[in-house]
């Protein structure tokens, strides 16, 4: 994947296109402030970065869309990526347009439409570049999640901004940002080929195999323990089932027969029977029932006596009422005089009506008077008997209430005995259900402890253990470290060779890329010397250039899935100390001229060695008077020529 062109779209439809040649050294030279450094940010934006870091000013004011045309292979396959500028005051957007085609050419502004987002853009470009499914495992005790390398990570190895290429502490693009350094450590081994292409799939298989091994190991251990105690457990379970009535009392010959009996008991539903009372309960029940019957008989006698008394009282009351009525009728006799005095003489008239004396007095009045007196005597006698009847009735009521209370006590005791029997019956039913559950659990284990079941488990366990060991051998961390070290040594040899060509300090010693610290280290006689301890900007820039050229030489020769371009912004800045140097593009000092020429000569030589598979793009002040240098220049922005045409700026200002 190499860059063919960058295309900037103005709002009125005009375009600014910068073309590059694949498989060659491409130089954009010019003065300060012409937009050279913006090219790197545009390339990164078109590789799927959400944030647009194009400087605020002419570019952000006039450009509506940013486009990049990529060559995917030598057969003409291309990819066109277009990104709109973020809307309003936003600094980022995920909108993107991605099109593939053979000999595809950038469309006009009216045809630009977002059809994807940055995540899908990175994924699809990565697949076209050759990035396969991968997963970097952070380790068993790491808190971070696994990371999958994509083209965004590969781009970190293809770009060097102005502040990075001359840094003594930052070796890779955006390395100082949060999380980027760890992402580089995790993904560079994959890009170098130290991680197998199918490692992600194998690590997933290893995780599944380890879980299966743990499960089978536990099942096998439990089966062995059950096999040692199963006969005792089955015997105890049989006794328990027999005690709760699930099986009949019979002799069982062997384990198979016992399992068969217990399996039948597991689904059997025997009829629930009331539990038999013990002798003491039976005696107590009989005594309570006898007492209840006796009290019931006594209560019946009392209630019969009470009924008789009530009947007699009711009859006497009727008789008294009749006598009282008769007495009332005869009371009027008190108006008649008495027939004779107490001494036998009478002074009363003979006739009760007129008072005349009669020769023969009528005895009827006296007879009636005597009847009245007899009635009064009888009524008095009956009225005097009523208090005694009431007392007798109250006594019968009290005796009846006492008998009822005793009867309730006796019946309550009988009900308590019945309730106790029902509780025992329910407890027996619960015991049977509990025993059925134990039968289920133990028989499930017992069926897997025969010789056949144990052998099946053992074979599964051995097969899974062999699979785990094979995967662990393939994914051995020591082997991975050895593979990575071997590749870093190969890269280190090229770094040393390029450092010698640039005449850098410590280039005579062994030079290597330290992936743990993400820097270059020279192994001197006095110990390792990282880039931070190597002085002068010339060495910092030189080692950056040597390291990235060495990495891309390895990527290209080993056909690794990294875009085949390296873009450098201002790599010769250390050799242009004055503004005159920047304007002319040629350093005044002989040493600076020699160093600048050596840098571009090295880039040219590496590109020619790897042609047509590798491309270098340099945005710099340098403008050397060399034929091969002039052939490599794609844009020369001096004397008013810039990235943004002056006509665009005039239109933006309304001139």
What percent of the chain has pLDDT above 90? Answer: 42
Task: Tell me, yes or no, whether 390 and 297 share the same domain.
Answer: yes
Backbone angles phi, psi at 37, to 5 degrees: -65, -25
Sign, CA dihedral 422-428-432-435, equals positive
Check whether 437 has a pLDDT greater than 80.
no
pLDDT in the model for residue 322: 60
pLDDT band at 458 (very low <50, low <70, confident <90, very high): confident
Count of structural domains within the chain: 2
- 33 within a domain of the structure (yes/no): no
Check whether 95 has a pLDDT greater than 70.
yes
Please spell the DSSP secondary structure of 347-409, one letter per residue.
Answer: -S-S-TTT----SS---HHHHHHHHHHHHHHHHHHHHHHHHHHHHHHHHHHHHHHHHHHHHHH
Contact (Cβ atoms closer than 8 angstroms) between residue 562 and residue 157: yes
Q: Which residue has the higher pLDDT, 19 or 356?
A: 19
Cα distances from 593 to residues 70, 162, 576, in angstroms, run 34, 19, 9
pLDDT in the model for residue 320: 58
- 226 within a domain of the structure (yes/no): yes
Place of tokens 């009728």: 329
pLDDT in the model for residue 436: 72
Angle between helices 537-557 and 180-192 (to 10 degrees): 40
What residues are paired with 512 via a beta bridge? 521
Q: In the numeric block, which tokens belong to residue 256?
A: 């198979």
Span 330-360, pLDDT tens digits? 565 555 555 444 444 445 455 665 666 666 6
Q: Which residue has the higher pLDDT, 311 or 374?
A: 311
pLDDT in the model for residue 450: 64
pLDDT band at 273 (very low <50, low <70, confident <90, very high): very low
CA distance 29 to 621: 5
Task: Tell me, yes or no, whether 306 and 420 share the same domain.
Answer: yes
Highest mean pLDDT among 20-24, 358-362, 445-449: 20-24
DSSP symbol at 612: T
- 418 within a domain of the structure (yes/no): yes
The helix or strand, by DSSP H or E, that contains position 633, with its residue range, turns out to be strand 633-637
pLDDT in the model for residue 159: 96
Q: In the numeric block, which tokens belong to residue 425?
A: 């019956």
If we measure between CA atoms, which residue out of 561, 566, 613 comes closest to residue 151? 561
If we measure between CA atoms, which residue out of 500, 575, 491 comes closest to residue 541? 575
- Please count the CA atoms within 13 angstroms of the CA of 30 that sit on its side-chain side: 21
Span 569-612, pLDDT tens digits? 999 987 765 454 555 556 666 788 888 999 999 999 999 999 99
Is the preceding peptide bond at 612 cis, omega within 30 degrees of 0?
yes
Span 290-304, pLDDT tens digits? 888 888 888 888 888
Task: Tell me, yes or no, whether 366 and 299 share the same domain.
Answer: yes
CA distance 286 to 334: 72
Question: Rounded mean pLDDT of 161-172?
Answer: 93
- Please count the CA atoms within 13 angstroms of the CA of 526 that sit on its side-chain side: 4
Contact (Cβ atoms closer than 8 angstroms) between residue 331 and residue 372: yes
Task: Tell me, yes or no, whether 424 and 301 share the same domain.
Answer: yes
Q: In the numeric block, which tokens belong to residue 494?
A: 């090229």
Task: Tell me, yes or no, whether 311 and 399 share the same domain.
Answer: yes
Highest mean pLDDT among 19-28, 230-239, 350-359: 19-28
Task: Tell me, yes or no, whether 250 and 361 share the same domain.
Answer: no
What residues are paired with 117 via a beta bridge? 95
What residues are paired with 566 via a beta bridge? 616
Q: Is 100 left (phi over 0), alpha (psi -120 to 50) or beta?
A: beta
- 210 within a domain of the structure (yes/no): yes
Task: Tell me, yes or no, whether 330 and 368 share the same domain.
Answer: yes
The mean pLDDT value of the chain amounts to 81
Task: Tell me, yes or no, whether 227 and 323 share the same domain.
Answer: no
Please spell the DSSP secondary structure of 297-329, one letter per residue.
Answer: HHHHHHHHHHHHHHHHHHHHHHHHHHHHHHHHH
Q: In the numeric block, which tokens belong to residue 512?
A: 């290597």
Rg, C-alpha atoms of the chain: 60
Task: Tell me, yes or no, whether 408 and 457 share the same domain.
Answer: no
Q: What is the span of the domain harbouring residue 458?
A: 201-270+449-468
Span 527-577, pLDDT tens digits? 899 999 998 889 999 999 999 999 999 999 999 999 999 999 999 987 765
Span 181-212, pLDDT tens digits? 999 998 999 999 888 766 767 777 888 888 99
Lowest average pLDDT, out of 219-223, 438-442, 621-625, goes to 438-442
- 302 within a domain of the structure (yes/no): yes
Span 209-230, pLDDT tens digits? 889 999 989 888 877 776 666 6
Beta strand 77-84 with 95-102 is antiparallel
Task: Tell me, yes or no, whether 408 and 435 share the same domain.
Answer: yes
pLDDT band at 271 (very low <50, low <70, confident <90, very high): very low
Span 512-528, pLDDT tens digits? 999 999 999 999 988 89
Place of tokens 């028989």: 443
Contacts from 460-467 at CB under 8 Å and sequence distance 24+? 460/216, 461/213, 461/216, 461/217, 461/220, 464/209, 464/212, 464/213, 464/216, 465/213, 467/205, 467/209
Q: In the numeric block, which tokens belong to residue 354?
A: 């007129």
Contacts from 433-440 at CB under 8 Å and sequence distance 24+? 435/237, 435/240, 435/241, 435/244, 435/246, 435/265, 436/246, 436/265, 436/266, 438/237, 438/240, 439/237, 439/241, 439/262, 439/263, 439/265, 439/266, 440/266
Highest mean pLDDT among 71-75, 94-98, 321-325, 459-463: 94-98
pLDDT in the model for residue 242: 67
∠ at Cα 108 (107, 114), nearest 5°? 70
Contact (Cβ atoms closer than 8 angstroms) between residue 568 and residue 552: no
Highest mean pLDDT among 13-17, 313-317, 428-432: 13-17
- Largest CA-CA distance found in the chain, in angstroms, rounded: 199
If we measure between CA atoms, which residue out of 330, 304, 469 comes closest to residue 403? 304
Q: In the numeric block, which tokens belong to residue 240?
A: 């328990």
Q: What is the pTM of this model?
A: 0.64
Q: In the numeric block, which tokens belong to residue 62?
A: 């006039």
- 357 within a domain of the structure (yes/no): yes
CA distance 20 to 24: 9
CA distance 306 to 323: 26
Task: Tell me, yes or no, whether 388 and 360 share the same domain.
Answer: yes
Q: In the numeric block, which tokens belong to residue 492?
A: 């280190």
208 exposure class (CB count in 10 Å sphere: 0-12, 13-18, 19+): middle
DSSP symbol at 449: -
Task: Tell me, yes or no, whether 256 and 286 share the same domain.
Answer: no
CA distance 118 to 116: 7
Q: Is 115 left (phi over 0), alpha (psi -120 to 50) or beta?
A: alpha
What residues are paired with 10 via a beta bridge? 63
Place of tokens 């390792």: 528
Q: Which residue has the higher pLDDT, 354 or 286?
A: 286
Contact (Cβ atoms closer than 8 angstroms) between residue 503 and residue 241: no
- 167 within a domain of the structure (yes/no): no
pLDDT in the model for residue 398: 83
pLDDT in the model for residue 160: 96
Check whether 289 has a pLDDT greater than 60.
yes
Place of tokens 């010769």: 572
Q: In the numeric block, which tokens belong to residue 69?
A: 């045309």
- 354 within a domain of the structure (yes/no): yes
Q: In the numeric block, which tokens belong to residue 163?
A: 């502040």
pLDDT in the model for residue 97: 97
């Amino acid at each position: 994947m190499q860059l063919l062109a960058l295309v900037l779209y103005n709002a009125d439809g005009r375009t600014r296109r910068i073309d590059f040649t694949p498989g060659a050294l491409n130089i954009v030279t010019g003065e300060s402030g012409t937009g050279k450094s913006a090219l790197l940010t545009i390339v990164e934006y078109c590789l799927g970065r959400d944030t647009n870091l194009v400087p605020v000013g002419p570019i952000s004011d006039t450009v509506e869309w940013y486009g990049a045309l990529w060559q995917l292979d030598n057969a003409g396959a291309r990819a066109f990526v277009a990104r709109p500028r973020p809307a309003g005051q936003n600094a980022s957007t995920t909108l993107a347009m991605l099109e593939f085609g053979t000999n595809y050419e950038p469309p006009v502004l009216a045809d630009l439409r977002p059809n994807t987002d940055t995540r899908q853009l990175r994924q699809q470009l990565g697949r076209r570049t050759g990035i396969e499914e991968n997963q970097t495992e952070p380790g068993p005790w790491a808190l971070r999640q696994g990371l999958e390398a994509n083209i965004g990570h590969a781009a970190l190895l293809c770009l060097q901004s102005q502040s990075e290429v001359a840094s003594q502490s930052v070796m890779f693009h955006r390395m100082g940002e949060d999380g980027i350094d760890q992402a580089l450590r995790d993904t560079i081994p994959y890009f170098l080929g130290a991680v197998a292409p199918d490692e992600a799939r194998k690590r997933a298989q290893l995780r599944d195999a380890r879980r299966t091994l743990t499960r089978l190991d536990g099942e096998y251990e439990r089966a062995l323990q059950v096999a040692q105690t199963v006969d005792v457990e089955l015997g105890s379970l049989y006794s328990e089932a027999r005690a709760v009535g699930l099986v009949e009392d019979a002799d069982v010959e062997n384990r198979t027969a016992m399992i068969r009996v217990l399996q039948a008991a597991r689904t059997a539903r025997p009829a629930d029977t009331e539990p038999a009372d013990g002798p003491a309960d039976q005696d107590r029940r009989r005594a309570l029932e006898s007492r209840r019957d006796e009290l019931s008989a006594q209560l019946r006698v009392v209630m019969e006596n009470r009924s008789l008394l009530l009947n007699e009282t009711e009859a006497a009351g009727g008789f008294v009422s009749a006598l009282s009525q008769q007495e009332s009728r005869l009371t009027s006799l008190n108006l008649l005089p008495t027939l004779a005095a107490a001494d036998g003489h009478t002074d009363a008239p003979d006739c009760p009506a007129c008072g005349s004396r009669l020769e023969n007095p009528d005895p009827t009045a006296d007879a009636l008077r005597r009847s009245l007196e007899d009635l009064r005597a009888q009524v008095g006698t009956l009225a005097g008997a009523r208090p005694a009847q009431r007392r007798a009735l109250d006594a019968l009521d009290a005796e009846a209430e006492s008998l009822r209370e005793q009867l309730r006590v006796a019946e309550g005791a009988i009900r308590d005995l019945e309730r106790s029997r029902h509780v025992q019956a329910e407890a027996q039913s619960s015991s049977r259900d509990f025993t059925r559950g134990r039968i289920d659990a133990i028989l499930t284990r017992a069926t897997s402890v025969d010789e056949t079941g144990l052998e099946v488990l053992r074979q599964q366990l051995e097969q899974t253990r062999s699979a785990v060991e094979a995967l662990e051998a393939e994914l051995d961390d020591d082997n991975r470290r050895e593979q990575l070290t071997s590749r870093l040594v190969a890269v280190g040899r090229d770094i040393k060779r390029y450092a010698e060509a640039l005449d850098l300090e410590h280039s005579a010693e062994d030079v290597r890329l330290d992936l743990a610290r993400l820097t270059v280290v020279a192994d001197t006689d006095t110990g390792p010397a990282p880039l931070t301890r190597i002085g002068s900007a010339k060495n910092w820039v030189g080692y950056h250039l040597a390291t990235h050229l060495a990495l891309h030489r390895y990527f290209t020769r080993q056909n690794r899935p990294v875009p085949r371009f390296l873009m450098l912004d201002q790599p010769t800045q250390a050799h242009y100390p004055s503004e005159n140097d920047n304007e002319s593009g040629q350093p005044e000092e002989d040493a600076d001229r020699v160093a600048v020429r050596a840098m571009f000569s090295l880039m040219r030589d590496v590109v020619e060695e790897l042609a047509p598979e590798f491309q270098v793009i340099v945005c710099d002040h340098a403008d050397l008077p060399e034929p091969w240098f002039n052939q490599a220049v794609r844009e020369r922005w001096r004397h008013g020529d810039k990235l943004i045409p002056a006509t665009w700026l005039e239109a933006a200002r309304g001139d």
